[in-house]
Homo-oligomer: A and B are copies of this chain.
């Protein structure tokens, strides 16, 4: 017997219902966020949604392709798929941004800061580094979160021209700038809940190494796309 109501289907003609079936299934807004941010390959997407199982990510990508939101393009047969947003997918940018802006405005920062994740933070930060604003064309910045277990508390950003690489194991380059911080403070800075300057003054963030790179960090260390949106919560 055929099922009457397919799961996840609202069976309403209203465009909100039709769109929600595609956009609002579990994890999908986050996958879309990652696609909109520019990730195109499977494991890049995974880094943006690390708690999602690969099985489910695979399923969601197929669904989004089926819905016409993305297209999976293989350069060579049997090669690696690149997931690109179609025009319809690109047109979801405002919708997803609207969701994030609302979250930034109305959700207590203390709630967000319960969900700390250094690798996710570093992955997000990597994407917004502005290499052209760093005094050196090539340089290496080491981030350390001393309170975390030793095997997961250090990351390196390796900048070379326009490229920014994130490493979780020491790539071996000379480090130009050392950043040491509590994870909570660095996350709060990234989200725009506080400023680097304030956290440095409070002793929550320390910079050591190249003075020029350190001095300009507030220019080249990009923040979250939502960082400029002010909270509307009564404080």
> Which residues of chain A have a CB within 8 Å of any CB of chain B?
5, 8, 10-20, 22-24, 26-30, 33, 49, 51, 68, 87-88, 91-92, 94-96, 98-107, 111-113, 115-117, 120-121, 124, 187, 191, 224, 226, 232
Partner pick for A112 among B13, B94, B191, CB 8 A cutoff: B13
In the complex, which residue of chain B has the Cβ closest to the Cβ of A187?
B13
Q: Are A15's CB and B117's CB within 8 A?
A: no
Q: Are A104's CB and B15's CB within 8 A?
A: yes
Q: Are B91's CB and A232's CB within 8 A?
A: yes
Partner pick for A14 among B11, B87, B111, B124, CB 8 A cutoff: B124
Q: Distance (Å) between the CB of A195 and the closest chain B CB?
A: 17
Q: Are A107's CB and B19's CB within 8 A?
A: yes
Q: Distance (Å) between the CB of A44 and the closest chain B CB?
A: 16
Q: Are A96's CB and B13's CB within 8 A?
A: no
Q: Are A20's CB and B16's CB within 8 A?
A: no
Q: Quick one: copies of this chain in the complex?
A: 2
In the complex, which residue of chain B has the Cβ closest to the Cβ of A88?
B106
Q: Are B117's CB and A20's CB within 8 A?
A: no
Q: Are A15's CB and B115's CB within 8 A?
A: no
Q: How far is the CA of A191 from the CA of B16 in the complex (A)?
A: 12
Q: Distance (Å) between the CB of A9 and the closest chain B CB?
A: 9
Q: How far is the CA of A223 from the CA of B106 in the complex (A)?
A: 32
Q: Are B33's CB and A111's CB within 8 A?
A: no
Assuming A68-B106, A87-B232, is B29 touching A99 (CB within 8 A)? no
Q: Are B30's CB and A10's CB within 8 A?
A: yes
Q: How far is the CA of A224 from the CA of B17 in the complex (A)?
A: 13
Q: How far is the CA of A18 from the CA of B191 in the complex (A)?
A: 13
- Across the interface, which residues of B come within 8 angstroms of A120, CB to CB? 12-14
Partner pick for A10 among B27, B94, B95, B116, CB 8 A cutoff: B27
Assuming A17-B30, A51-B11, is B92 touching A95 (CB within 8 A)? no
- Across the interface, which residues of B come within 8 angstroms of A121, CB to CB? 13
Q: Distance (Å) between the CB of A228 and the closest chain B CB?
A: 12
